[in-house]
Amino acid sequence: MNARKPVAWMSTKFPLEIPAALGMEVICPESAAAAAAGKGESGRLCRRAEGLGYCADLCSYVRMGMALAWDGGLPKPDVLLCCDNICSGMVQWYEAMARTLQVPLVLLNFPYRQSQVSQGQVNYLLGQLKAAIRQLEELTGQQWDPQKFQEACLWEERSARAWQRVLDCAMARPSPLRSMEIFDYMPLMVTGRCRPEMEERLLELARELAARRPEGEEYRIYWEGTPCWPVLGQVVELLDKRHIRVVADPISHSLGFCCQDLESLARAYCETINGVSLEEGVAMRAKLCWRYGVDGVLVHYNRSCRPWCGDLQEVERRLRDELELPVVSFDGDQGDPGAFSPAQFETRLDTLTELMAARREAR
Ligand code: SF4
């Protein structure tokens, strides 16, 4: 008897509760691309995708994901699960992977919104969610069990609370979390947050972090955007050299979902970071800057991610004006090492350090 669980490749903000309730194994190609970039493989994977005809202007996660799909770098999926609540380019990416891998694609369309989520939008999503569940029932041979779905939601809520405890370790001064260290733990939440064991694992991590006695933090910053994975070590070294510590970022804070039924699930997944209005996006960032007591903001203009960077200049301006914080930006990429200039990064960091020092003195 074949005991292998059905495998799904899933976009980061697809409702994980659904494949979890159906007992599926879930892999996130964006996390896999980030991990490959962290191991220094992104340049090779991007060039491989370009050789296959995927243009260099595409997001580097898309290029790396296509290379992994072609070359078999991940366990082969039985189905792809995608939704466009953070990025519409994701749809074309998953369609291309579905054609390459010759597996079905389950797609959820989230309408863009400027204000509160309307009941009409929720109904539209409920129809799609029910159709997706039927499609996955057929594919897995499993019947949808509302009890299992409730359990997945419950474990997810507990994981979200425990994850917040981990994130809040950075409120201590100095923060026990090294700059960018939080991103090492992010995959636990991306694909593992509906598992029963995750709550205790995260609480144990929070206890370990709280027991640390760190030294050397002078400035606390909010990092806006995705890390530059291929040069992460270099970035951390340059931050440490200036006694700057990253204590908050938008991505690690976007992973805790809480829902009790399909309707609250539909609402929760409308609230993803690129899916909210400019006002909500600024308010969310301002809240993080206040909560973690930052001295400044460093903005990463990630060449890959146009949906993220489109309104960043206005976000920058508002954070600078409304919070009266120094805000400095630099250019880079989450996956393509060629888009990062160490010289520019150092110059911008020096500017940020000077501005933070001047602000502190003025106070
Ligand atoms: S463009 Fe941005 S949101 Fe879209 S897949 Fe790439 S990194 Fe993700």
Give pLDDT tens digits for 163-189.
999 999 999 999 999 999 999 999 999
Give distance in angstroms: CA of 333 to centre of ligand 1.
11
Residue bearing the CA closest to ligand 1, atom 5: 90
Q: Half-sphere exposure of residue 282, counting CA atoms within 13 Å on the CB side?
A: 15
Q: Read off the pLDDT of each residue in 48-65 and give the average, rounded to a whole number.
A: 95
Counting ligand 1 atoms within 8 A of each CB, the residue from 10, 13, 30 with the most, and so the one to mutate, is: 30
- 2 falls in which pLDDT band (50, 70, 90)? low
Whole-Å CA distances, 195 to 17, 22, 24, 30, 48 = 10, 12, 12, 20, 35
- 52 falls in which pLDDT band (50, 70, 90)? very high
- Quote the CA–CA distance of 194 and 42 in Å, as a whole number: 29
Give distance in angstroms: CA of 341 to centre of ligand 1.
21
Ligand 1: residues with CB < 6 A are 59, 61-62, 86-87, 89-90, 304-305, 307-308
Residue 119 near residue 102, CB atoms below 8 Å? no
Q: What is the maximum span of the chain, computed from C-alpha positions, in angstroms?
A: 72
Residue 24 is predicted with a pLDDT of 96
Question: Quick one: which H or E segment has residue 75?
Answer: none
Q: Read off the pLDDT of each residue in 19-28 and give the average, rounded to a whole number.
A: 96
Q: Which residues contact 261 (CB under 8 A, 6 or more apart)?
A: 153
Residue 271 is predicted with a pLDDT of 86
Residue 363 is predicted with a pLDDT of 84
Counting ligand 1 atoms within 8 A of each CB, the residue from 85, 86, 251 with the most, and so the one to mutate, is: 86
Q: Read off the pLDDT of each residue in 20-46 and give the average, rounded to a whole number.
A: 95
pLDDT tens, position by position, 105-162: 999 999 877 778 899 999 999 999 999 999 999 999 999 999 999 999 999 999 999 9
Give the relative orientation of helices 182-192 and 146-168 as an angle to the nearest 10 degrees: 170
Counting ligand 1 atoms within 8 A of each CB, the residue from 304, 309, 336 with the most, and so the one to mutate, is: 304
Percentage of the chain with pLDDT > 70? 99
Is residue 1 pLDDT above 70, yes or no?
Answer: no
Sheet of strand 7-10, all strands in order from the earlier edge strand to the far edge: 25-27, 7-10, 79-83, 105-108
Residue 336 near residue 60, CB atoms below 8 Å? yes
Residue 306 is predicted with a pLDDT of 87
Mean pLDDT score of the chain: 94
Give distance in angstroms: CA of 150 to centre of ligand 1.
30
Residue bearing the CA closest to ligand 1, atom 2: 305
Q: What DSSP state is assigned to residue 229?
A: G
Is residue 205 pLDDT above 80, yes or no?
Answer: yes
Q: Half-sphere exposure of residue 188, counting CA atoms within 13 Å on the CB side?
A: 20
Give distance in angstroms: CA of 203 to centre of ligand 1.
30
Q: For residue 140, give both structure tokens.
A: 């897995």
Q: Is 223 helix (H, G, I), strand (E, B) or coil?
A: strand
- Quote the CA–CA distance of 292 and 270 in Å, as a whole number: 25
Residue 224 near residue 299, CB atoms below 8 Å? yes
Q: Is 346 helix (H, G, I), strand (E, B) or coil?
A: helix
The predicted model scores a pTM of 0.94
Residue 158 is predicted with a pLDDT of 98
- Quote the CA–CA distance of 66 and 68 in Å, as a whole number: 5
Residue 136 near residue 79, CB atoms below 8 Å? yes
Q: Which residues contact 350 (CB under 8 A, 6 or more apart)?
A: 242
Residue 111 is predicted with a pLDDT of 85
pLDDT tens, position by position, 61-77: 999 999 999 999 899 99
Percentage of the chain with pLDDT > 90? 89
